[in-house]
Amino acid sequence: MITLNEITKAFGIRVLFEKVSFTFNDGNRYGLTGPNGCGKSTLLKIIMGMIDPTSGTVTLPARVGILRQNIEDYLAMNVLDVVIMGNERLWGVFKERDDLYEQEMTDDIGIRLGEIEEIIAEEDGYSAEANAEKLLIGMGIGGEHHTLAMHQIPLDMQFRVLLCQALFGDPQALLLDEPTNHLDLESIGWLENFLKNYRGTLIVVSHDRHFLNAVTTHIADIDYETIIVYPGNYDDMFEAKTAVRERAEADSKSKEKKISQLREFVARFGAGTRASQVQSRLREIDRLQPQDLKKSNIQRPYLRFNVPTKPSGKIVFKLENVDKGYGGDPIIKNLSLEIHKGDRIGVIGNNGRGKTTLLKLLAQVHAADSGTIEFGHQSMISYFPQNHNDLVDKSVDETGFEWLRGRRAGLYDQDVRSVMGKMLFGGDDAFKKIAALSGGETARLILASMMLTDHNVIILDEPNNHLDLEAVSALAYGLADYKGTVVVASHDRDLISQVANKIIVFEEKGIKFYDGTLEEYLKQR
């Protein structure tokens, strides 16, 4: 179990959480939730010991698996060794044994080697390589990669190796920050099954709603400057939390109405002969006085795209024998496909296989090396790039409001303020400098610009990367309601499931087109 004892974390006058005491119990799988900036990663880093709380203490079990992000520290190391390092005690004695064998044998060294062999046996060290290989294969990393140095394998595989490191050695607790970020759908499914069978304490931060719903038994939600734990998965939590908030707001309004009636009685009869009744009403007013409701983090953007003023032609994109590569390395080879008006295409597959390249070809950001791409009659494209800097130049000294107003001629200020409010840029937030915007704020600003402009084709490349769960849900609703054509690349299964009726899959052996939903595609596989 993991115990927090009166944990407080503040940055200046801003308090993320205050005097939080809670025990994460064995056998429970906790999703740590809250909007961007609420302190999820900060709390996880406090539990990991990476940063100190302002006050309070954390108690951890002896063996804790942590998903680390410092990939550069492992680049020269062997893949299997990186995984085995997840059991610090075992890895330490392995290294000590190797060092002792290089020294001249003495009685003391012999005794120590015997002790080391006992520790290796206790830690199941004689099966360490086999257990590490099992984890790697589950993560889609074949045996041909196991003896390579980390820098010799693709970047997405490097992150998977670090995930295997966290899972290795039967840890008593697991701390995972965005574990699905670099996984394909098959690997995510394997991880879900692994975690469902895990019997220790799990704390996971994820923006993947499907993953949280599949894995978690409890949700630890950061709100009201504390942690509130709800039984069940993310959807259960959101329903319960919303209902509690609505009841509190309704109760507050009911009290205010009753107080207004009592005050009216006091005003009418305060100077008359009904003094005792007036005093009774005054006591009742004091009793009913509602407490101020703390501000909740329940916020969901309202995201709807305009109905296209001009429909596109029947064929929106037609690709014939298209090749595209960089520096002589082919990424897309001999691709032919058609995308029709009204199609909702989900683009899935591992990182590095060409999803972004395809979307940039469709968005006319890049040109094909060979082959042809025909763009349909009256196709008006709105593009959301994976790299926000491709669209939002943060070196320019302007506010979000100014940037949005420049996206379309003839906009009124109230139009811009209205759409910014819908995307949670209320009050002075509308006038924040774009250089100061977080990744999530920049993503919402780009989506706001798409709500203001005219288009009949939307292309989105990993739009959920910096969005919190509620913003991703709002985006899914907006895309499902859109009257034009949608092409979206994402690892978020909920987003693809709600939006796509056709799938483009980037597999190791090439690109495949599937006429059906994500669920139908996965079932067919």
Please state the domain extents for the chain. 2-236, 237-288, 315-524
pLDDT tens digits for range 488-499: 999 888 899 999
Residue 246's pLDDT is 62
Q: What is the pLDDT of residue 79?
A: 95
In the prediction, which pLDDT does 156 show?
Answer: 80
Predicted pLDDT of residue 105: 86
Over 70: is that where the pLDDT of 346 sits? yes
Q: How far apart are CA 185 and CA 490, in angstroms?
A: 11
- Contact of 346 with 518, CB cutoff 8 Å: yes
pLDDT (0 to 100) of residue 351: 75
Kindly indicate the confidence band of residue 98, based on its pLDDT and cuts at 50, 70 and 90. Answer: confident
DSSP string, 508-520: TTEEEEESS-HHH
pLDDT value at residue 295: 58
Q: 81: pLDDT confidence band, cut at 50, 70 and 90?
A: very high
Mean pLDDT calculated for residue range 343-356? 88
Tokens of 171: 């840890």
pLDDT at 256 over 90: no
Burial of residue 461, with CB atoms counted within 10 A of its CB: 0-12 exposed, 13-18 middle, 19 or more buried: buried
Whether residue 50 is predicted with pLDDT greater than 80 in this model: the reply is yes
Mean pLDDT is lowest, of 43-47, 280-284, 374-378, for 280-284
Q: Give the model's confidence band at 131: pLDDT under 50 very low, under 70 low, under 90 confident, else very high.
A: very high
pTM here is 0.77
pLDDT at 293 over 60: no
- Per-residue confidence (pLDDT) for residue 12, from 0 to 100: 83
In sequence order, which residues have a C-beta less than 8 Å from that of residue 27 and are 6 or more positions away? 199, 200, 201
Task: Work out the mean pLDDT of the chain and round it to a whole number.
Answer: 88
Q: What is the pLDDT of residue 443?
A: 93
What's the confidence (pLDDT) of residue 109? 85
Integer Cα distance of 19 and 23 in angstroms: 13
Residue 145 is given by DSSP the state G
The domain 315-524 having CATH identifier 3.40.50.300: the answer here is yes
Sorted by sequence, the CB contacts under 8 Å of residue 132 that are 6+ apart come out as: 80, 83, 84, 146, 164, 168
Nearest CA to 361 out of 329, 327, 336, 394 is that of 336
Distance from C-alpha of 72 to C-alpha of 392, rounded to nearest angstrom: 29
Cα separation values, 274 from 128, 258, 277, 279, Å: 86, 19, 5, 9
Burial class (CB in 10 A: 0-12, 13-18, 19+), 340: middle
CA separation for the pair 60, 285 (Å, rounded): 49
Tell me the pLDDT tens digit for each residue of 396-422: 899 999 999 998 888 899 999 999 999
Q: Band the pLDDT of 329: cuts 50, 70, 90.
A: confident
Q: Which one, of 254, 238, 185, 220, lies nearest residue 521 by Cα? A: 185
Closest Cα to residue 214, out of 196, 240, 190?
Answer: 196
SS3 71: helix
Q: What is the mean pLDDT of residues 235-260?
A: 74
426-434 average pLDDT score: 89
- Mean per-residue pLDDT, 73-89: 93
Inter-residue contact 124 to 63 (CB < 8 Å): no
Lowest mean pLDDT among 253-262, 282-291, 334-343, 437-446: 282-291
| Residue 54 pLDDT | 92
Same fold, 2-236 and 315-524: yes
Does domain 2-236 sit in CATH 3.40.50.300?
Answer: yes
The rounded distance, in Å, linking the Cα atoms of 491 and 349 is 8
